[in-house]
Amino acid sequence: MDIAVPCARIPGVNMKKSEKEMDDYCEVIEFLRNGNASDESIQKIGEEKLKGNDNAKKQERKIEIGWFDYDYRSSEYRQVRTLNGGGVRYINAPKTWMQDDILQHGKKVFFLNGKSKRGNVTDFQFEVRNFMGGRMDNDCTIGDLYTLTGSKLLRFYIYSKKLPTTAVGCSEMESPSDDSLPDHKLLQVNKQVANLSSDPSNESPSKTSSLTPQTVQLRVQEFMKTRTQQLQKC
């Protein structure tokens, strides 16, 4: 004698499911009794369980984020180590993340409350690069990159460079160029003129008396004028 078993009493059946899903479960129970459930209903129940187990895993992928900062002394980017607030951070990121999402998260982890040992987050300009140092496409997602590269773990880097206005006076700034240094020939002439005016043994009394401060100034001005004309011709 067959005994009807209400679906509400079946272990593992969630009564909050939709009416269609409940019908599928009941149809499977009917199959177990009479062998007349459809293959489609059984397949749907199996697929639903798989989705429940793997859905969260499919939406996220683990990535690594590192940090490179521009060194003005060597004129190159250098990786920031853990002791200086850098290192590598491991993140479970949504597969839909794009370049800007990675950048914003990188700023948060390397610039806590907008600050780091290298300076404030507002003092820098930023960009995101891949593990080979290449720039990312703006519309490329993490999921796309995993599909394209076939890599098991992707690493990205935040590249930062201090803005010129904030880098002035910084110990990492480049050395002054040769053009900004004093002209060594001009320094030599000024030194010679100063020696002539201060050492009476080098000249006769009549000549020494003529080297007044006004005379020295005129000679320096004439030399500078000549030097400027020579530079303009070059």
Highest-scoring range by mean pLDDT, 13-17, 116-120, 165-169: 116-120
> Fold for domain 59-167?
Ubiquitin-like (UB roll) (3.10.20)
Q: What is the pLDDT of residue 224?
A: 72
* C-beta neighbour count of 80 within 10 angstroms: 21
Beta strands in the chain (DSSP E): 60-71, 76-79, 89-94, 115-116, 119-120, 124-130, 154-162
* Rg (alpha carbons) of the chain, rounded to whole number: 39
Judge contact between 21 and 57, C-beta under 8 A.
no
Judge contact between 118 and 86, C-beta under 8 A.
no
Residues 205-219 have a mean pLDDT of 60
Residues 172-196 have a mean pLDDT of 46
pLDDT in tens, 56-91: 557 999 999 999 999 999 999 999 999 999 999 999
Bigger pLDDT: 70 or 14? 70
Q: What's the predicted TM-score (pTM) here? A: 0.50
Residues forming CATH 3.10.20.90 domain(s) in the chain:
59-167
